[in-house]
Amino acid sequence: MGARPDQLKEDCQKRFSELVESVGIKRFAEEMSVSTRQINRVLSGAQPNPIERVIQCLQAAETEVGDQVLDFMCQELGGHFVRQEGMNESAISAVRECAEAIAAISDGQVGEIDLKEIREAISALSGLILAIRRTRGK
């Protein structure tokens, strides 16, 4: 699953560098509550890359649990995780999730569980749109 280990390491290194460069090493280190020396050690490859470690954690877990963690992370940044599926799976998932969302809000009250159902429906519809675009070559 995913990229070759050496390619993953390289990609993670690039992404970590982009994060640091986006705000500068000093500010990045301060926000992470670590020293600039520690950031430099990650950048040089002398210390484990946190992005690579997160990916390894997710790959080591059951897919559903990993997806939940990714969705949590995405929500913390104002988004949602959408797993790419094939066209048929996306369509079935979208219909099921929308039906569950409609049932969840049909009582006129929207609670935390209802919000979860709505987020899942939006994610499923997003996945369907991506699958349609892939099949059409767009």
Q: List, run by run, the mean pLDDT of 10-residue segments along the chain (138 residues).
A: 78 96 97 96 95 94 90 84 66 76 77 78 77 69
Cα dist from 87 to 100, 131, 133, whole Å: 20, 5, 10
Q: How many CB atoms lie within 10 A of CB 23?
A: 12
- Residue 90 confidence (pLDDT): 63
Please enumerate in sequence order all residues whose Cβ is within 8 A of that of 93, keeping only pairs 6 or more positions apart, or say none: 85, 124, 127, 128
- Residue 48 confidence (pLDDT): 94
Q: Are 16 and 53 in contact (CB under 8 A)?
A: no
- Residue 62 confidence (pLDDT): 94
pTM beyond 0.75:
no
Closest Cα partner for 14 from 47, 42, 46, 55?
42
